[in-house]
Structures are given as C-alpha cells and as structure tokens.
Amino acid sequence: MNQAIIIGSIGLWRKFLKDTLEEEGINTICFVDTVESGMSYSGVPIITPEELPRYTKGFNGLVLVTFPVNNSRRQVFLDKVLGYFEKPVHVLSFKEVYKKYKNTLLKARNVGDFWLRENYDKNRALSVIDLLSDEKSKHIVESWIKFRETLDIDYLVEPEEPQYLPDDLELQRFIPNEYSFLDVGAFVGDTYLFIKKKLAEYGKKLVLYTGIEADQKNFSELVKTVQNAKNEDEKDILLNIACFSQNTFLEFSETGTTLSSVSSFGQKNNESHKIKVFANALDTTFKGFRFDIVKVDVEGSDIECLSGMKEVLVNSRAIVMACLYHRPEDVYEIPEFFEDLFDDYSFFVRAHGTFYIDTVLYAIPKP
C-alpha cells in the first residue's frame, strides 16, 4: 500500500501528514475537502468527493480520516466519500491515523503550529485551572496540557457543539430579549447567522449587529450575508478593519479563508499576498457603546484586541467568548486578563474542534 488518499485536514496539518507518509514511502494522490477544493499542495490536488472517481480506479492504498466522526453530519460526509471507491479499502480512523503517524504531531510541535509551540509557561497554564468554574472546564485544560506534553492522542477531548452557544451553559438565560452583538473576527457572517437563528428560538431579538473583519474578501461576503439576512428593524455596523491594542497598521496574509492571518499551504495558483490594514483599538471606536454578546476570534491577536477594548468590556458587562487556541500563551493570558478586568464573572472552557482547535473561553457575568 504505497498510495494514500487523505480525507479532511487543513493548512500545515495537511503538509505534516503528507510529509510523514512520504518518509514511509507512501505517496498521497489527493486530499478530499469540500472547503478548499480547487487548490493544491505541492502538486497534490485538493478535490471534492464528486471528483474521486478520477483517482479511485484500481486504488488499493490507505484512506486516512483526519477528523473524529462524532456527529451525523460527519458520518454522512464520510459515507459519501467512501461510496466513491470501487471496492472495500483500508480505512484508518482519526485516532488510528495519528497513533500510526505520530510524526505528524511532532512536526506540528517543531514548527510551533498554533498552540503547540513549546515556549509557554506550564505553571501559569496549570494555575488557570483554579480560575475555572466547573469540572468540565478544568478537565479540558488539564487534558490540553497533558496532550502538549505527550502528544498522546488519547488526551484529546471530544469536540462538542454548538460553538458559541454550548447547550450546557444555557447562555440564553443571561441574554436580554433585545440584544446587541459585537462580532470581532466576523469572517463571512457565519456566527452572525448562527447566533441570530439560535437565540430566536428562545424569543430573543437581535437589534444591533457590529461585525469587524480585516480580510477584504471575507468582509465583502460578510456584507452580503448581513444584507440578505437582517431584519427590517435590525441595525448593523460593519467595519473592514483589524482589532488591536492601539491604533496602527498591521501586515497580514490575505487569503479570503478562515486562515487570513496565517500562512496557508493550499493556494490557488499563487501565494497569498501581504496587505496592510488599519488596526483599531475598539475603545476609541465604540466609546459609550454597550453590547450584550462579544465574540473575539482574530487569529492570534486575541489578547492584543482584548487589551484595546477594556472600557467596552467593562461598561458592557457582556457575555464574552474568546478563542484560546491560536497561541499557547492564550490559555493563560486571556483568563488572567479577564480575571483582572472583571468583577463577579464565571469562566468556562469548551473545546469545539479537533486537537483543541476552536477552544473557547466563556466569560459570563454572575447574576
């Protein structure tokens, strides 16, 4: 079995797995992905499931599944992909892939991808556990630390859905019937659509949506999303700026994907190009504003962004959702920041993605 087809994976992790397979004499012939289809990495095409028949005729290699199949949506996708193979094939599950090809994880750690970078303060990470308000949150952070230390796949926690409104936290209880939402790192409006729809089920009405997105391509899609979905009496503020601790200009890679500020290994035809964008301390932009929900997901500048909006956060006394997975320091710097900033808040951590991607800190004001 000297050929492989990889289902899923993204960016650097795609590269690491492909390179690990090559070291063992296994050639990756394609990646299957609905998000980045039409791209390629190092001559290996990224295709949709419908394109698989071009690659599966006579195929007798490995099929590597790079995500846990933990919900019906993923199971349907996997079944669809496997349905395109002419005969039964050797399929490695998510855990089997990363146990058998553990060098993939070592490569990720060696280059410091996302939160796997080694130069972090373990003692500060451990101390954060005492700030958290439930046993699930403490278990997630403890497991995160153990996985960093060992790269043992068994320390991964099961991702849970839905992101930003996890069922067990019942955030709707803390949100007024008419609410405002500050969405920092709004991407193309996916969180806007989800939160608006989900809270409507509880009789909640969005009256002001404020979306901040630095990537021009994503911002254009965000504008379309809001224009198509907003209610007649719903107000919106959409800004094509970055968020930082001070007013300045920042340079980042524009890709029009969720990886706007990090290097991507799957580019269409040419590499992403560097652009300069205006970065704003949101305390200067939204002086006097109050929000009921604040979400921050800005690809590694999260603590800088939060530092530039202290007044907004304190004055709003909002539910704050901040991503913890972009840098290893985030897991302690952001909870420490909130602990110093807020009075009478509870802090919860939930992991919504594989490998602790989409791990979010929920800061909730106490009644």
pLDDT at position 259 is 39
What angle is formed at CA 118 by the lines to CA 112 and CA 120, rounded to 5 degrees?
Answer: 120
pLDDT by residue (tens digit) across 229-260? Answer: 999 999 999 999 999 999 988 877 665 444 33
Report the distance separating Cα 135 and Cα 120, nearest Å.
24
Among 68-72, 131-135, 250-254, the range scoring the smallest mean pLDDT is 250-254
265 pLDDT more than 70:
no
pLDDT by residue (tens digit) across 25-58? Answer: 999 999 998 776 678 877 899 999 999 999 998 8
* pLDDT confidence tier of residue 264, bands split at 50, 70 and 90: very low
Q: What backbone phi and psi angles, to 5 degrees, belong to 184?
A: -100, 115
Does one domain contain both 246 and 300? yes
Q: Count CA atoms within 13 Å of residue 298 on its CB side.
A: 25
Does one domain contain both 97 and 213? no
Residue 42's closest CA among 32, 54, 28?
28
Reported pTM: 0.88
Distances (CA, A) of 101 to 64, 92, 151, 308: 10, 11, 11, 42
Does one domain contain both 138 and 278? yes
Report the distance separating Cα 70 and Cα 81, nearest Å.
16
pLDDT at position 257 is 41
261 pLDDT more than 70:
no
For 43, the domain range is 3-111
| Residue ending a domain, choose from 111, 143, 171 | 111
Residue 337 is assigned to a structural domain of this protein = yes
CATH of the domain at 187: 3.40.50.150
Residue 120 is assigned to a structural domain of this protein = no
Does one domain contain both 45 and 91? yes
Does one domain contain both 206 and 289? yes
CATH of the domain at 91: 3.40.50.720
pLDDT at position 41 is 77
What are the structure tokens assigned to 312, written together? 């907004």
Does one domain contain both 311 and 338? yes
Does one domain contain both 129 and 166? yes
Mean pLDDT of the chain: 90
Residue 116 is assigned to a structural domain of this protein = no
Distances (CA, A) of 252 to 92, 308, 325: 36, 19, 19
| Single-letter code of the amino acid located at 43 | G
pLDDT by residue (tens digit) across 330-359? Answer: 999 999 999 999 999 999 999 998 889 899
Q: What domain count does the chain have?
A: 2
Does one domain contain both 313 and 242? yes
pLDDT at position 256 is 45
| Residue ending a domain, choose from 66, 83, 111 | 111
| Residue ending a domain, choose from 61, 86, 111 | 111
Report the distance separating Cα 319 and Cα 348, nearest Å.
11
143 pLDDT more than 70:
yes
Residue 191 is assigned to a structural domain of this protein = yes
Does one domain contain both 144 and 222? yes
